[in-house]
Each structure stands twice: as C-alpha cells, then as structure tokens.
Structure 1
Amino acid sequence: MRYTLSLIGACALSLLLAVDAAQAEIPVVPAASLGLNQAQLDRIDALVKEEIEAKRLPGCVVAIGRTGGIGFLKAYGDRRVEPSQEEMTVDTVFDMASLTKPIATATSVMILVEQGKVRLRNPVAEYIPEFAQNGKENITVEDLLVHRGGLIPDNALSDYEDGEEKAWERLFALPTDRPGKQFIYSDVGFLTLGKIVERASGKNVAEFAAENIFKPLGMKDSGYTPSKELSQRAATTEKRDDEWMRGEVHDPRAYLLNGVAGHAGLFSTAADLAIYCDAFLRGASNKSSQELARGDDGKSAAHAVPPFVMSRATLAEMLRPRDVAGNSRALGWDNKSAYSTNRGELLSSRAVGHGGFTGTAMWIDPELDLFVIFLSNRVHPKGDGLVNPLAGRIGSVAAAAIDGPNPTSVAVAAKTAVEEKAEGAGDVRPALHAVEATKVSKAKRPQVLTGIDVLARDGFKQLAGRKVGLITNHTGLDRDGRRTIDLLANAPGVKLVAIFSPEHGIAGKLDHDGITDARDEATGLKIHSLYGETRKPTAEQLKGIDTIVFDIQDIGCRFYTYESTMTWAMEAAGEHGLKYVVLDRPNPIGGVAMEGPLADGGRESFVGCHTVPLRHGLTVGELATMYRAEREIEVDLEVIKAENWRRGDYWDATGLTWVNQSPNMRSLTEAILYPGMGVWETTNVSVGRGTDTPFELIGAPWIDGQKLAAELNGAGLPGVRFTPIEFTPSDSKFKEQKCGGVNVAITNQAEFNAVAVGLELAATLRRLYPLDWQVKAADRLLINDEVYQAIVAGADRAELEALFADDLKEFGKRRQKFLLYGE
C-alpha cells in the first residue's frame, strides 16, 4: 500500500507532491502553530490504511486546518486503479457530487439574496412561474434549501433524454407531497435552485459561481466541466458507455444537462476547498469587528474587513439551523440530520457540512475554528465503496486534536487590517492567502445613508406640499451634521410648522422629568415637549399640521423611551387623520441578535410600549411597521429607509458619526451593555450614572467587588470579563458614596450577550446579597412577571433563560415580515 504524504511544515511546502508552492494559497504550517496536536492527527494514517486495505476506497486526500492555515494535508493510495494504476496526489481534482449544493448553488443563492434579487421567503414560482404546478405554488426558496419542499429525491432519467428544454418542462411539472411538513433530501429541489440562480442573474449556476465565488476567492481549480489539463489529474470514477469517467461529471442527470446543474457538477481540489473554508471561517468568526480590524500597532483600522463572498449577516442567516421534521439543516448545508454519518461526533453544534455521492465530505466548524476536508473517489472502480463512516471518524480525530487557541487567525486578521488600512480601501472581501499573508481585493462599500440623507437626496419629494410637525432632537442630523430641523425648514415645497422633543429635550442634555416647552432659535418655531405635561401630541399642538415626521436615533433597547415617543405620536397621527413618516436610522447594536424576555401583554408603559424583548434587533422604521400592525393603529405610515446598512452591522461599521443619544449614553460600548445593565437601575444598585462610564459598571456600598467579580468570571460568559472596582458617583443613586462593584469589559463583541450578563448579575446578586439587594422594583423595566418571580425565588441564569426561550424564538418569527433590511 502506498501513501503520498506531505510534510506538515511551512518549510516543507516544496515537498507537497504535484503542488507548486506558489499556488498553495492557504499556507501549510506546523499543526502546533494552529493549536492542533500533531500526534492526534497522525491517528488518521491508520484509519485510512485500514479502509483502503478493505477496498472501501482506492485512495483519498485529507486536509485539516483552521483560520489562516492547513495543519494537515496528505494524499493516500491511488486516484486510479483501472485501467492503469495512478498514485493519489494532494492536487488531485475530484468530482464534488452533492458538495456542489452548498458550495456552488446555495452560496450563489445567498449572494443573490444579499443583492436583493432573491428572497428566501418568496415562492419559487415568483422566479420560475412554470414551477407553480401540481400544488407547488407556495413552496419557498428556503424550503428548497433545507429539503422541505416535499419534492421527490430524483426524477426518472428518461425525463432528460429528449434534451434540456423537455427535461426542465418535466421537472417543473413534478408533484409535491405535503410541502413544509417533512424532510425529503431532494436533488430535484437543488436542480430548481440552480435554475433560480439563472433566472435571477441571467447566468447559469456555473457562470455565476465562477464570477462571484471561485474567481473572487482565487479558487483556480474549481468549476464545472473542467478543462483537459485539469481532467488529466482528476480522480477516475466509473465507466460510462464503456469509457472511464475522468473529469466528466459522474451524476447522470447533471451529465445529461451538459455537466451544469444545481445539485451536482462541481469539480475542485483540497487546496481550493481550504481557501473556501478559510474565508468561510473568517465570515462566521465570533471575533468582533474591532478585533478583525485591529492592526499590529494595537490601533483600530477604520472599519472591519468582511472575510467572505457575502456579508457576515448573510452568512449568519445561511448558518442558522432550521429544524426540519427532526433534522437540523442550515441553508444548503447539513447540520445534524439523517445524512450526517460523515459528521465528526466531536464537532460543535455550529458545525455545518455536506457529503457527495462520489466519496467527498467537508465540514466547517466556526465554534472550534476548524475545517475538515475528505476527498475520495470511492465509486472507483465498481461503484460499491463506502467512506462516510471514515470521514466522520476523521472529523472526530480532528476536533480532538485541538489543544490550544489558533494564534495564526489573530495574526492574519491583524495583517489583513493593516494592509487594508495602509491602502485606504473601503469595504473589502479577502481573496486567498499566499504563504505569508492575505491579499485583499478592494471593493469600496457605498456610504450608509440615513432616512434624512435619502430624503434630502431625493429633493424632499416624499414631503412635497406637506405641513410638517417634526419629532426630533440633537440626534436628528444628516451625514454632514446638518440638523433635520434646518433641512426641513428650508426644503422646497415643505412647510415646517412645529417641532416636538422627546425625553432629555431637544439638545439631549436634560436628565429629569417635567421638561417644558421651548423655542428653536434658528427657526423661531415652538418646541413642544413630549416629556412634560403630555407624552403624546395633543389636538392643540397638531393644529395646522397634516404630516408628522419622526427622526431620532434609537439604541435598540425596549425601555429606551424614544421608541415609545415614536409609537404614541403615531397613535396620535392616526387619531387625527395625519400622515406619519419615519426617517429610519441603523440600529447601532445590530439588527440580528435578539435578547431577553418579552414584555408581558397588557402591561405596556412608556418604558415598554409593546411585547418585544429587551434587545429586539429592529430599527425604528421596522418597529413602526410592526407596531402599526400589531397594535392595530390606523395610520398612513411611510418609512423612508436607510440605505446600504446591513443587519449585522453595529454602529462602528456604518461610517456615521456617533452622537451621544442622551446624557448617559456616551458610546457604542454603553449602548451594547444597556439592555443588560440598565434594566436593574430601578433597584438599589448604581449602574454608573454620575461616573464617566455609565452602564459599564455596577455597584453599591454593600457589594464586595472582588467577590462579585470572581463569581461572575466563574460563570464563563463569552465575550466579557469583570474587574473589581470602587467608585463614587457624583450624581444619581449613591451620590457621593463609595461603592464596591465591577467594571464590565466587552472582550468579543460578536459573542457578547448583554441580557445574559444582566441575568447572571441578577442571579448572583440575589444569591450573594439576598437581604441587601432590594429586587422589588426590578420588574418596572423587565416587565415580565414570570422571570421576575423566578429571580426573587433564586433561579440561576440558565433557568431564567429557559423561561423565555420559546417566546424569543416566536418573536423571531413574528418580526420576519416587518424586516426592511435583508433576510
């Protein structure tokens, strides 16, 4: 038995059989440099040898790596045994079979989703009208991606024998069986998805994937219908018409479609797949945008570097597991289903992967920062090989080999940021990595525009002929810092009649109740306070107005009262027959994550006007559309959307200037912390008001900071560390009293969950200080009696989170139809 082994060291790149070092886009490095144990990885040799000797496969290539490098790359056995013997090499080209589904087709679909050309929720028939036959009119794109369309696995080969046109007619005429109710792994579904790519882009899936995936990533040996040169180093599969298939697609239906299909037809190599996996891991990384953008000088680049061919938000949606009749599937990917026999048992719950009929498998684990690539031609020569169990065991060996962090990923991220910063590029997508570092393709991202920017750009046509009452404050600014007040006062065809201000007043500096009316010096207009005698515009205040415009920057937390001001004013507009226009703005803490219990129905108040979680992940425009529908507000609502904002973006990725939204909301860090820290300020603890860092600390005269920090750090919460401190507030609670407590430091923005921190704090304070912590008023902002009673009873964080887990999941479904910015 022969094995072609590559040495696992950067100095040994020249010894990789048949691989030019200059083409090794992802460097092969010592396993230890990636935090992998070489002795553990060496166990793979014996596993593969046993299976080859049992004739379950003629040979294979195994590649294992983490972000920034390949720590294990070996070729075993033969890539051809008939009609002549040919040794396996690490650059062998393999027929990917069903790995085509996630790598080419699903990735292409998600890129089209990001481009706004396809929507997951939309019926397939919107893109392929002929598909709407025999009960298939309501099957969605997402249904096909997770195999719940009720379609048969494969249709008859005879359907393809009269040419492509007839083949598609017959495929589109196929029936369905209980779509949405069952899991049926279906090539038919992915054939259809390939056609959606063609209809939406004007290019077949081979052309689209080449232009949007393989070329940008530098996957030089990947694509459909490989060239003669690539075919010469392709692994042989079976015979077709008495000729051995080599560089010719094995799948008979793809073959009859000239080698190009959504379910099969892709060819690639281990090195190219490692490129894809590396970029994928960067895109799915839990590292914060600051960490990814940090240079080796310790300073931050202007913005984060998007690492994949799609945005982080798009990839996060692609990776989100869906339960399909007891099978966990992501979009185009397997997660844990009946087809997961090639999955390593030790991979994390975030791992996704897929296999191919010819003997291929690939798994990517963002949690472990690990990829495992197994490529074989198990169908050669007789079609009776078996490799899925072997691929699964190799995955477990690889996961068990992790014995430390991966310093390479941090170094490469820093290098990328430094290069990008030096070049002054905009938003970029990394291409491949040569042995030393990352080369970055420069693709400047369009500026994020808020609603007022869009309104001004469009010449204020949306308000033409309108008499406007503007609800705003100091955050109502365009990109150039001009006040919305002044822009509307001078807008052609618009008459600004009155101004309304929320809590903290028009300048955002007041921190007390009973704020009185005022007058704007620049325009001479009266400013009606909506945080004084009334919190809802009155009939008297609305005289002469036919349109209310709302433009205030929110921070994405339920009890931040600007949301209630918006909602109550919208109700007033409905009651008085006025038009209501929201100038939308990004959610500064992102539009993906949702955290915390929902407010109890029937308990709505000015600090929680609707049944949403503490962190809802919506913009004010999205909240307005949800509240109008769910609160049954009869009002003519228009949302002028922000442009070029992506749901996964925090404020630091927008390029917009930060403005302190209120006296104690002074940074993005404080906004991120607020849903978990601010919720307890109704109890007898200080959350830092009267200090330089409100919401970044919590304490009281009766708290032992060292003890509290030790307990909180011991809880193992991701993305955060707690430091014992002493502080003396100059204002607010415990004014001029020394307090013990903790500083809360976010170490990983992507992993950090503010409400989880808040609940851990509550459970710990209740356990350590049952007599000192006066929890009675906690429910004023929590607004969830079940969770409040559990805190009083001494429940731990896990028990508290379990109480609202189902509600939070249901809210995720509720909000879907109100999202204005992507999937």
Structure 2
Amino acid sequence: MKKSILPFLLFGLIATVAFAETPIKDKLIKTGADQTEKYLSYLKGKRVALLANPTTIVGDKHFVDSMLKKGVNIVKVFGPEHGFRGNASAGIKVADEIDPTSGVKVVSLYGPKRKPSKDDMADVDLMIFDIQDVGCRFYTYINVLSHIMEACAENGKELLILDRPNPNGYLVDGPILDMKFKSGIGMFPIPISHGMTIAEFAQMINGEGWLPNKMQAKLKIIKVANYAHDMDYTLPVKPSPNLNTQQSIMLYPTTCLFEGTVLNHGRGTMFPFTIFGSPLYKGVYDFSFTPVSIKGMAETPLHMNKECYGLDLRNVDIAELKKKNRIQIEWLIELYNKFPAKEQFFDRSQSNQIGDINKLIGNDVFRKQVAEGKSVEEIYASWEPGLSEYKTMRKKYLLYP
C-alpha cells in the first residue's frame, strides 16, 4: 500500500513540537543564559544591546522580557533572519520595528544591512550574543556572529556570549569550503559540520584572523555547564521555522544539501529536512507527500500542490546515525541514481527556490563526483587532508571536552 503523509498534514499544522531541556546523568545541561548568577550583576548599570531570536530564552521566558523585569537597561535588540520574534519565513527581508511585547527597538540585520552601524552602536555599552546554533556552515547564525564581532571590534565594545550547546557538536565532517564559493551560506574555510558551539566559533574567528584586517573582538563568555560535545541535547525551542523537530535538526548537516537539487525537501509540509521527493519518482518510490503553502514556513514550496514521491527519513535512528559519525551522502547519491532526468537533478535555475549545490557542499567537485558514479568512500577520501587539518586547528578553540 502506498504510504502518504497527507492524513498527518492537518495534525502537523496544529501540533506543537515538543522540545525539552536535556538531562545528563544526575545533572542538567545549563546554558549560559540560564546561569544568571554569573552575569546579571555585570549587566546592571550598562546600556545593553543583544542579538536575539525566539531561542534566546532564560528558563521558559524570552531573555529580553526576563531581563527587563530584572531592571536591565536593554536599549535595543538586533534581529537576524526570521526576525527577533521568529515571524518571518526563510529568505524574507525583515524590517526594523518596535517590539510590541517589550517596547524595545528592534534593528533588523536581515534587510538593507547585515551588521550594526556606528550609529547603532553609539548608545551601547555591552553587546550580548545569545542564539541557538545547530553547528553547520550553511546555517547562517555563525555569519551573523562574525558581523556582530566586527561591529564590536570597530566600535570598541565588548561582546558577551551566553553559550548554548551544539546539538550536532559530536560531528566534524564534510569538505572544507573552497573560498571561491564563499557566499551567504558559507563564509569560512570550515567543513559542513564544524563541531563547535557559538562561543568556541567566536574564539576561532578571533584566533584565525577572519575579521576584516584581522581585527579582534573583545569577548566575555559564559560557558554551558555540564556539557561535552558528544552529549545528546534536545533543543527547548525550535531554532528556525523549518527546523521544527529534533529529527530535522539532527539530519540537517546531511539533508540541507537537498536544497541544491530539484527535489522538495519537506518544505510545504510539517516535516522539513526529513522527507524528500519529486513528482518524477512516481513508480520508483511508494512514499509520497504533497507540499502546500504554509505561512511562516514555506509559502511557495518547490512542487507546490503536486504529489511527490521519494524518501522518508523521519524514523532514522539518530543514535545509530551518531555512531556512524559522518554526513550521510548515500541518500543524495541514491536519489540521484534513481532520478529519471539526471541532467536536471542539480539544476535549480527553473525554480524560485534558493539553492546551489556548489555553495552548499563548498566546492565544484562533488556534483561531478556524483555524476561520474564515484563511490561514497571515494568522495569521503577527497575531503582530506583539509578535514583532518581543520580538526587539528579546531582543538585550539574548544571550551568543552
């Protein structure tokens, strides 16, 4: 019998994804933000600005709302992609506003500008960065981090980082970005899955001289308590509209690569980055789904209102995935080999979707390797020696075992 997600779509549209704080043996992982005793007195008497989104929480409350109640003088908030409160779809420009909940001015860094201006920083004594990352080169918050660090360095401001775990912190894998393909989804010569927290990555940016003119940002870091890179961590809040399940977050280092193909990767359903398909796979795969317009997630998804056939990875065992300790390029290779129009597989020119496999993977070799039928092991081998060199360099900046 043909399997379909259509019966579950309505349920998914009204369901709330369960995210929870993660117990570690007899202790809980505590984010930097949750350790208020380590920074609250430091904020008092300062004009504070922060880079924030819906993941910027203390306990179950937004950091801004919580700090305002504690008397902290928050003069403005900078909002990244999706906006401060997370109301904008992926890729949609965000305007400046006054936050209706707190009354705080919100300056968008996903509109005409990507970093705070000199005027933006003039009335700021201390900048805070507190956003949940998922540990991938193409997840753009590490780019935002570098822009914030640059603004702080230029204007002589300190940056306080309230660190958070990387749910994919166990994984360091993928080809190093060929800087010929530097873009908004890849700014640094790192692998796809970098295996660092935001604070560790900030130290790498400083240490490797990646800011313009090798500037250095002054950093103050509140570390995550009771954390190591290989620990499981279930996010308390979805990090972005289309990473709405823990499964999607854990598959993301692999499945974001499908943005560089003509396949729908679950956008237009409640299961982004976990299901993949095309109308052209009819008769090849039994599993099917139909992307539809979903406000705030995917308003014009690829193959909208067309039945797509393909792979369902929602039940992949994440514990087994972690044991493999690799990006699973097998799935993409399988779908390429079974695609009836291979010359179109990586061609996004006919769609309104953003995606370039060379920018996502970080080179112009991978596409050719897949087309030439190179084995998985041959492709993995081609990522060396760059990957091993990165792993050695990364050790200098680690804050956690």
Closer, same or farther in 2 for the Cα pair 1:464/1:807, shift >3 Å?
same
Paired residue type of 2:309: G
> Is there any run of 5+ residues in structure 1 with no aligned partner, and where?
1-301, 305-425, 429-444, 708-723
TM-aligned CA distance change 1:705 to 1:450, over 3 Å: farther
The offset of 1:791, in angstroms, is: 3.0
Structure 1 position 774 matched with structure 2 position 346? yes
8 Å CA contact 1:705, 1:726 repeated in 2? no
Residues 635-675 of structure 1 deviation map (CA, whole Å, 9 limit, x = unaligned): 111221111112211213xxxx6211111111111001111
The one of 465, 468, 491 aligned to 2:48: 468
Counterpart amino acid of 2:290? T
- Aligned runs of 1:345-744 on 2, under 5 Å? 428=25, 445-454=26-35, 456-458=36-38, 460-478=40-58, 480-492=59-71, 494-511=72-89, 512-589=91-168, 591-601=169-179, 603-630=181-208, 631=210, 632-652=214-234, 658-704=236-282, 706=284, 724-731=286-293, 732-744=301-313
Letter in 1 for 2:82: H
TM-score calculated relative to the size of structure 2 = 0.83
**How many angstroms does 1:750 deviate by?**
4.0
What whole-Å deviation, never above 9, does each CA across 1:6-34 have from its counterpart, x for those lacking one? xxxxxxxxxxxxxxxxxxxxxxxxxxxxx
Cα pair 2:279 2:309 within 8 Å, conserved = yes
Structure 2 counterpart of 1:449, one-letter code: K
What letter corresponds to residue 627 of structure 1 in structure 2? I
Kindly state the Cα deviation for residue 550 of structure 1 after the two structures are TM-superposed.
0.7
Which structure exhibits the higher relative contact order, with contacts defined as CA atoms closer than 8 Å and separated by 6 or more residues? 2
Paired amino acid for 2:170:
V
Answer whether contact 2:284 2:338 (CA < 8 A) is retained: no
Q: CA RMSD in A?
A: 2.3
C-alpha distance 675-666 of structure 1, shift in aligned 2 (>3 A): same
Residues 638 and 750 from structure 1, CA distance in 2 versus in 1: closer, same or farther, beyond 3 angstroms?
A: farther
Structure with the higher helix share, 1 or 2: 1
Paired residues of 2:21 and 2:29 also in contact (CA < 8 A): no
TM-score with structure 1 length normalisation? 0.42
Indicate if the aligned counterparts of 2:176 and 2:189 stay in contact, CA closer than 8 A: yes
Q: Does 1:749 align with 2:319?
A: yes
Alignment check: 8 A CA contact 1:775 1:792 kept: no
Q: Does the CA-based 8 Å contact 1:691-1:729 persist in structure 2? A: yes
Maintained 8 Å contact 1:505/1:515: yes
- Report the residue type matching 1:730 in the other structure: V
Distance 1:486 1:504 in 2: 19
How far apart are the structure 2 equivalents of 1:742 and 1:457? 47
CA distance in 2, matches of 1:705, 1:678: 25
1:696-755 Cα shifts (integer Å, max 9, x gaps): 111111124745xxxxxxxxxxxxxxxx41111003111101111110131252444586
Match of 1:761 in 2: 331
Aligned counterparts of 1:544 and 1:619: Cα–Cα separation in 2: 29
- Partner of 1:779: helix, strand, or coil? helix
Tell me how far apart the structure 2 counterparts of residues 789 and 540 of structure 1 sit (CA, whole Å): 47
User: Which AA in structure 1 matches 2:29?
Assistant: V
SS of residue matched to 2:34 = helix
CA-CA distance at 1:303 after TM superposition: 10
Percent same amino acid at aligned positions?
31
Letter in 2 for 1:546: D
The residue identity in structure 2 corresponding to 1:651 is: Y
Partner Cα distance (1:786, 1:820) in 2: 34
How far residue 427 of structure 1 moved from its aligned partner, in angstroms, is: 5.4
Asked whether the equivalents of residues 21 and 236 of structure 2 are also in contact (C-alpha less than 8 Å), the reply is: no
Cα distance between partner residues in 1 of 2:305 and 2:381: 39
Gaps of 5+ in 2: 1-19, 294-300, 349-355
Q: Deviations over 1:314-352 (max 9, x none)?
A: xxxxxxxxxxxxxxxxxxxxxxxxxxxxxxxxxxxxxxx
Distance in 1, matches of 2:333 and 2:39, equals 53
Structure-2 change in CA distance of 1:748 and 1:668 (3 Å)? closer
| Paired position in structure 2 for 1:369 | none
Question: Alignment partner of 1:513: what SS?
Answer: coil
Q: Distance in 2 between matches of 1:486 and 1:748?
A: 35
**Which of these two proteins has the greater Rg computed from alpha carbons?**
1
Query: SS at the partner of 1:680?
Result: helix
